[in-house]
Amino acid sequence: GFAGALSYDGQVQWLDAATIAATGMVTAGLGARSASALSAKALKRVLGVLMLVVAPAVHIKPEVLQQQQKEEDQGNITCQRVAPALGIGMCSGYLAGLLGVGGGVLVVPALTLLTPCNHYEALATSLCAMVLPAASGTLTHFRAGNVALRGGIAPSLAVGACLGAYAGGQLAQNYIHDETTMRWGFSTLLVALGLRTL
């Protein structure tokens, strides 16, 4: 996650990322403990439905909201950014622990909808913010014996994700300059994965 965030030069919104990370760390452990109460099949279905429900949110940020955000008083900007980030962090941390999802499923759409972040900033901020909640959820799952270390699965996945996140960020930054294209690609991927997961 952090490697991907670094590839988005100057796009990380650090206040949002820190707030999401702090609250997400608290709730990720709760989500991981809740996972043991559900069957693997139920968790898979919940994940699929979540992706299908969230996919359209990438496109529904109204132009009116964007205009209002531009006109907001700068004195209130900290409160206006921290409050949504607190809620996003709590929900995304819990879902990260419960379903193993990264920030893409919830954090990116929520940031684009509830904060002044554009899609590039939301991606970069999400990648940065979810590092610590993911570690917290992973630790809880590790203690429960749910992390596949045998055969090098988890370490290989971590290395591949790190390299892929950085490469993907570089691709988005240098070759995809249209935010609408990014939004459509992102939501299409969520729909495809959601349908495949059900």
Q: What is the mean pLDDT of residues 97-115?
A: 85
Assess whether pLDDT exceeds 90 at residue 86: yes
What does the pLDDT look like over 158-197, one tens digit per residue?
888 888 878 887 887 788 878 888 888 889 999 999 999 9
Tell whether the model's pLDDT for residue 16 goes beyond 50.
yes
What is the SS3 assignment for 95? helix
- Tell me what pLDDT residue 88 has: 94
Q: Are 182 and 189 in contact (CB under 8 A)?
A: no
* Mean of pLDDT over the chain: 82
- pLDDT, average across residues 146-154: 79
| Run of H or E residues at 101 | none
The DSSP code for 175 is H
Q: Is residue 80 pLDDT above 90, yes or no?
A: no
Q: Average the pLDDT over 97-104 and give the result.
A: 82
Residue 49: predicted pLDDT? 94
pLDDT at position 63 = 47
Given a cut of 80, is residue 149 above it in pLDDT?
no
Distances (CA, A) of 117 to 46, 92, 114, 138, 151: 27, 17, 8, 28, 40
pLDDT of residue 64: 41
Q: 118 and 7 in contact (C-beta within 8 Å)?
A: no
Q: Looking at residue 186, what is its pLDDT?
A: 87
Tokens for 154, please give them: 């988890």
Provide the Cα torsion 52, 58, 60, 65; round to 10°: 150
Confidence (pTM): 0.78
Stronger pLDDT, 57 or 86, i.e. the higher one: 86
Residue type at 26 in one-letter notation: V
So what's the pLDDT on residue 146?
78
